[in-house]
Amino acid sequence: MASEPAGSEAVRLGREPIDPAQLLAAVADPAAGGNVLFVGTARGITAGVVTNRLTYEAHEPLALAALARLRLRALDRFGLVACAVWHRLGTVAPGEASVAVAASAPHRREAFAAAEWLMECIKAEVPIWKCEEGEDGRREWLHPADPTPRAEAEP
Amino acid sequence: MHDEDANAGPRLRIAVFAGMAELAGCRQIDLPWRGGTVAELRRGLADAHPAVASLLARSAVAVGGRYAGDDDPVAAGADVAVIPPVSGG
């Protein structure tokens, strides 16, 4: 695989805002022909219900390790030449990015597939939680019935 | 809160997160602990903090930075975290 971005650029879990351009730059690679950037933003309205803000927290060592492992699996599984996975912690206002993945492959198909796969895995496996705060100030941590967090289950 | 154990031996510090921290009213739960399995730890935690029992039943347990099964051992002083169902993204 060609020039790897610095570790801190490839996987990031932090409170600073996510700059999509920076993420895309982190996966620039001469062997890339398809570069897919997915940005998940905090949704301000869900089925007519207003969300004032989201707050994210994580088991940081486990979450960082899980993000790094998923990135490596994506590189291998989809034949990517570069990949970056960032997730935000702390308070995120509507419209701001809470998560972003970038995948670069020789051709677009693998890059699209990798970005989709990474997002599915992040939402299912990585120990990160969001708290929704509504217009009325009501707060709720989301712990969906499905998925339950899962170990290092290899596919 | 567990006066009978207050001056007794080893304890376990359990990190809890998100909705479980809210239910427990704290981010770390201390339990008297002389060693045992994850299943025993789950029972001890649910008995000491009934408010977390239902979410705990849907949660994973990590010991020493690795997800652990119910039969796995938990030594006194181990680094333990309860990982409730995730909602990142």
CB contact A103 to B (< 8 Å): no
Mean pLDDT of A87-112: 98
Size of interface A-B (CB pairs under 8 A): 91
Residue B50 carries which DSSP code? Answer: G
For residue A151, tell me if it sits in a domain. Answer: no
Q: What is the spatial order of strands in the sheet that B66-68 belongs to?
A: B28-32, B11-15, B80-83, B60-63, B66-68
How far apart are the C-alpha atoms of B13 and B48, rounded to whole Å? 13
- A37 min Cα distance to partner chain B (Å): 14
For residue B78, tell me if it sits in a domain. Answer: no
For residue B88, tell me if it sits in a domain. Answer: no
* Cβ atoms of B32 and B8 closer than 8 Å: yes
Query: Does the pLDDT at position A155 exceed 60?
Result: no
Q: Looking at the 3D structure of chain A, how many domains does it have?
A: 1
| The pLDDT of residue A145 | 87
For residue A122, tell me if it sits in a domain. Answer: yes
Query: φ, ψ for residue A105 (rounded to 5)?
Result: -135, 165
pLDDT (tens digit per residue) in A81-95: 999 999 999 999 999
Q: By C-alpha distance, which of A27, A45, A53, A49 is closest to A118?
A: A27
Output the average pLDDT for chain B. 92
| The pLDDT of residue A8 | 53
Domain range for B29 is 9-59
Q: By C-alpha distance, which of A18, A25, A36, A21 is closest to A3?
A: A25
For residue A109, tell me if it sits in a domain. Answer: yes
How far apart are the C-alpha atoms of B66 and A58, rounded to whole Å? 15
| More confidently predicted of A154 and A86 | A86
Partner-chain contact B89 A119, CB within 8 Å:
yes
| The pLDDT of residue A7 | 42
For residue B39, tell me if it sits in a domain. Answer: yes
| The pLDDT of residue A92 | 98
CATH number of the domain bearing residue B50: 3.10.20.30
For residue B35, tell me if it sits in a domain. Answer: yes
| Cβ density class A22-51: b for 16+ within 10 Å, e for less | ebbebbebeebebbbbbebbbebeeeeeeb
Partner-chain contact B88 A142, CB within 8 Å:
no
Q: Are strands B11-15 and B60-63 parallel, antiparallel or unpaired?
A: unpaired
CATH number of the domain bearing residue A56: 3.90.1170.40
Q: By C-alpha distance, which of B76, B71, B88 is closest to B12?
A: B76
- Calculate the CA A58 to chain-centre distance: 13
Mean pLDDT of A137-155: 69
Torsion from C-alpha of A113, A114, A116, A118, nearest 10 degrees: 160
- A87 min Cα distance to partner chain B (Å): 7
Q: CA torsion sign, B73 to B88 to A104 to A2?
A: negative
For residue A3, tell me if it sits in a domain. Answer: no
Query: Does the pLDDT at position A148 exceed 70?
Result: no
Output the average pLDDT for chain A. 91
How far apart are the C-alpha atoms of A2 and A81, rounded to whole Å? 6
Mean pLDDT of A62-75: 97
Non-local CB neighbours of B68 within 8 Å, separated by 6+ positions: B38, B61, B62, B74
Q: By C-alpha distance, which of A76, A100, A91 is closest to A1?
A: A76
| The pLDDT of residue A21 | 94
pLDDT (tens digit per residue) in B7-49: 568 899 999 999 999 999 999 999 999 999 999 999 999 999 9
For residue B65, tell me if it sits in a domain. Answer: no
CB contact A154 to B (< 8 Å): no
* Cβ atoms of A67 and A126 closer than 8 Å: yes
Residue A137 buriedness (CB in 10 A; 0-12 / 13-18 / 19+) = exposed
| The pLDDT of residue A2 | 42
| The pLDDT of residue B26 | 95
For residue A120, tell me if it sits in a domain. Answer: yes
Domain range for A35 is 11-136
Q: Looking at the 3D structure of chain B, how many domains does it have?
A: 1
| The pLDDT of residue A150 | 52
Residue A67 carries which DSSP code? Answer: H
ipTM of model over 0.95: no
| The pLDDT of residue A3 | 42
Mean pLDDT of B59-72: 97
